[in-house]
């Protein structure tokens, strides 16, 4: 059986951007920004995307394309049996992330529907408290997971590529429209101000905490550390520049993330609600409150939560594909069997998170950062010390002069500097 490949370069880029752009941009980022001192967090986060996220992302792409395998097969193929555990970390990270991700996906699905009916308009706080965890949350989590399974089972080109090629441009257009609309709201200016005002004092006092949170988020937002980008790169047939592709993916993710912030923060401030310290659900409550009070709130609510739903789905697809590619490659399963098997596992683990706020919080806040960081440290050390010259060769393949120029600094970064830095945030975190 020949392995699947992307149909076009733009198809691969859009699938990867679809993976990157997600709840990380629209929900986790505002949540962490509010918790970590506003623009202080933003500044560090942007710096760490450039310094850690992009080189790390390229390091993961290198392993994927070089091996043309799922994460476990990739490390075995390139390094021998004793490196298979690195692939196992990726599988674990993917399972951890998707377990809470699909719970939030379920919340979003529910909010999209209830925006249309106006169910949460009267009492947004009570509404969220009634649906956030428990049986309803389990059911909507299952529905979100089912949609993810449905796309992935159609395959790399007919399922993932075809759907993300529609979803990602759709996200950009709708978010752009919303950004223009919220700019007309009274009070929007304070939202921009919160986003852009730098509280140096806060940053100085809490530097380590902010640094660790920002580093984790820089990995999370680029889908790095769980083998999703590795797996997507394993379906690349041709010799294109991974340095160029990785940079483009990061630029698009960051631009769409900033655009999402330009929608979310002014919306919140237009109603005089600040993003608050109320934990992961605060954003839902505040936004729902905003839609309830605004002209055309139902329509805007459906569009907004619909965009978030698309973003979440295109990311969840990439995480599920990590597990699916493993089951297909290593255990000889059909794609349908693999998708149902992985989906069944996540139905169970995600349901635990959907039923328990404590489990959910632990996964989303702490464990996700830890497994992604551990995964990326392993991948980069592998690139630097096991692949060595081959990693640089892969980096330079199909690249122009500029990329060849940065190949050595990139190599030093991934072999030495980034693992040291990530190990530091891992221990501190």
Query: Which residues in this chain contact ligand PFF in the complex, by CB under 6 A?
Result: 19-20, 22-25, 97, 220-221, 223, 226, 228, 315, 318-319
Taking the complex as a whole, the smallest distance from the CB of residue 156 to ligand PFF amounts, in Å, to 16
**CB closer to ligand PFF, 223 vs 241:** 223
**CB closer to Na ion, 163 vs 223:** 223
Q: Which does 148 bind (CB under 5 to 8 A by kind): Na ion, ligand PFF, none?
A: none
Query: φ, ψ for residue 99 (rounded to 5)?
Result: -60, -40
**CB closer to Na ion, 61 vs 78:** 61
Question: Per-residue b/e over 371-394, b at no fewer than 16 CB within 10 Å?
Answer: bbbbbbbbbbbbbbebbeeebbeb
**CB closer to ligand PFF, 97 vs 160:** 97
Q: Which does 249 bind (CB under 5 to 8 A by kind): ligand PFF, Na ion, none?
A: none
SS3 readout for the chain: CCCCCCCCHHHHHHHHHHHHCCHHHHHHHHHHHHHCCEHHHHHHHHHHHHHHHHHHHHHHHHHHHHHCCCHHHHHHHHHCHHHHHHHHHHHHHHHHHHHHHHHHHHHHHHHHHHHHHCCCCCCHHHHHHHHCCCHHHHHHHHHHHHHHHHHHCCCHHHHHHHHHHHHHHHHHHHHHHHHHHHHCCCCHHHHHHHHHCECHHHHHHCHHHHHHHHHHHHHHHCCCCCCHHHHHHCCCCCCCCHHHHHHHHHHHHHHHHHHHHHHHHHHHHHCCCCCCCCCCCHHHHHHHHHHHHCCCHHHHHHHHHHHHHHHHHHHHHHHHHHHHHHHHHHHCCCHHHHHHHHHHHHHHHHHHHHHCHHHHHHHHHHHHHHHHHHHHHHHHHHHHHHHCHHHHHHHHCCCCHHHHHCHHHHHHHHHHHHHHHHHHHHHHC
Q: Which does 226 bind (CB under 5 to 8 A by kind): Na ion, ligand PFF, none?
A: ligand PFF
**CB closer to ligand PFF, 169 vs 400:** 169
Residues that bind Na ion (CB under 5 A): 20, 24-25, 221
**CB closer to ligand PFF, 170 vs 187:** 170
Q: Which does 115 bind (CB under 5 to 8 A by kind): ligand PFF, Na ion, none?
A: none
Taking the complex as a whole, the smallest distance from the CB of residue 172 to Na ion amounts, in Å, to 14
Q: Which does 410 bind (CB under 5 to 8 A by kind): Na ion, ligand PFF, none?
A: none
Taking the complex as a whole, the smallest distance from the CB of residue 372 to ligand PFF amounts, in Å, to 7
Taking the complex as a whole, the smallest distance from the CB of residue 220 to Na ion amounts, in Å, to 7
Q: Which does 413 bind (CB under 5 to 8 A by kind): Na ion, ligand PFF, none?
A: none
**CB closer to ligand PFF, 48 vs 203:** 48
The CB-nearest residue to ligand PFF is: 24
Distance in angstroms (rounded) separating the CA atoms of residues 215 and 209: 10
Structural contact between residues 61 and 233, judged by C-beta atoms closer than 8 angstroms: yes
Taking the complex as a whole, the smallest distance from the CB of residue 25 to Na ion amounts, in Å, to 4
Taking the complex as a whole, the smallest distance from the CB of residue 231 to ligand PFF amounts, in Å, to 9
Q: Which does 373 bind (CB under 5 to 8 A by kind): ligand PFF, Na ion, none?
A: none
**CB closer to ligand PFF, 21 vs 203:** 21
Distance in angstroms (rounded) separating the CA atoms of residues 339 and 152: 7
Taking the complex as a whole, the smallest distance from the CB of residue 375 to ligand PFF amounts, in Å, to 9
Taking the complex as a whole, the smallest distance from the CB of residue 220 to ligand PFF amounts, in Å, to 5
Q: Which does 242 bind (CB under 5 to 8 A by kind): ligand PFF, Na ion, none?
A: none
**CB closer to Na ion, 115 vs 221:** 221
Q: Which does 19 bind (CB under 5 to 8 A by kind): ligand PFF, Na ion, none?
A: ligand PFF
φ/ψ region of 108 (left if φ > 0, alpha if ψ in -120 to 50, else beta) reads alpha
Taking the complex as a whole, the smallest distance from the CB of residue 18 to Na ion amounts, in Å, to 10
**CB closer to ligand PFF, 148 vs 270:** 148
Structural contact between residues 380 and 59, judged by C-beta atoms closer than 8 angstroms: yes
Taking the complex as a whole, the smallest distance from the CB of residue 342 to ligand PFF amounts, in Å, to 14
Q: Which does 314 bind (CB under 5 to 8 A by kind): ligand PFF, Na ion, none?
A: none
């Amino acid at each position: 059986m020949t392995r699947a490949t992307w149909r076009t370069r733009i198809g691969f880029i859009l699938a990867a951007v679809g993976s990157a752009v997600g709840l990380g941009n629209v929900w986790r980022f505002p949540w962490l920004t509010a918790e970590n001192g506003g623009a202080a967090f933003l500044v560090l986060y942007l710096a760490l995307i450039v310094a850690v996220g992009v080189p790390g992302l390229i390091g993961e792409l290198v392993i994927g394309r070089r091996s043309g395998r799922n994460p476990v097969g990739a490390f075995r193929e390139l390094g021998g049996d004793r490196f298979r555990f690195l692939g196992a970390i990726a599988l674990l990270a993917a399972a951890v992330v998707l377990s809470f991700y699909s719970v939030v996906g379920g919340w979003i699905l529910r909010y999209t529907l209830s925006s249309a009916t106006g169910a949460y308009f009267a009492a947004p706080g009570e509404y969220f408290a009634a649906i956030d965890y428990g049986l309803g949350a389990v059911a909507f989590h299952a529905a979100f997971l089912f949609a993810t399974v449905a796309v992935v089972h159609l395959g790399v080109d007919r399922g993932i590529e075809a759907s993300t090629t529609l979803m990602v441009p759709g996200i950009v257009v709708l978010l752009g429209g919303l950004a223009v609309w919220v700019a007309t709201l009274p009070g929007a200016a304070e939202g921009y101000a919160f986003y852009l005002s730098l509280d140096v004092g806060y940053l100085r006092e809490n530097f380590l905490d902010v640094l660790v949170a920002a580093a984790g988020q820089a990995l999370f937002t680029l889908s790095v550390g769980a083998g999703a980008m590795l797996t997507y790169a394993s379906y690349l047939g041709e010799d294109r520049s991974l340095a160029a592709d990785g940079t483009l993916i990061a630029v698009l993710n960051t631009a769409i993330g900033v655009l999402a912030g330009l929608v979310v923060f002014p919306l919140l401030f237009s109603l005089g609600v600040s993003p608050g310290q109320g934990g992961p659900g605060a954003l839902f409550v505040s936004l729902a409150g905003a839609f309830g009070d605004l002209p055309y709130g139902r329509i805007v609510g459906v569009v907004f939560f619909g965009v978030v739903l698309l973003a979440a789905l295109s990311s969840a697809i990439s995480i599920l594909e990590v597990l699916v590619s493993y089951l297909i490659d290593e255990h000889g399963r059909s794609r349908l069997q693999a998708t149902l098997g992985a989906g069944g596992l996540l139905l169970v683990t995600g349901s635990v998170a959907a039923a328990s706020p404590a489990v959910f919080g632990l996964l989303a806040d702490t464990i996700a950062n830890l497994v992604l960081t551990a995964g990326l440290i392993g991948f980069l050390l592998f690139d630097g010390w096991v692949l060595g010259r081959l990693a640089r060769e892969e980096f330079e393949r199909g690249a122009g002069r500029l990329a060849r120029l940065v190949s050595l600094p990139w190599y030093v970064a991934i072999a030495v500097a980034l693992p040291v830095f990530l190990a530091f945030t891992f221990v501190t975190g």
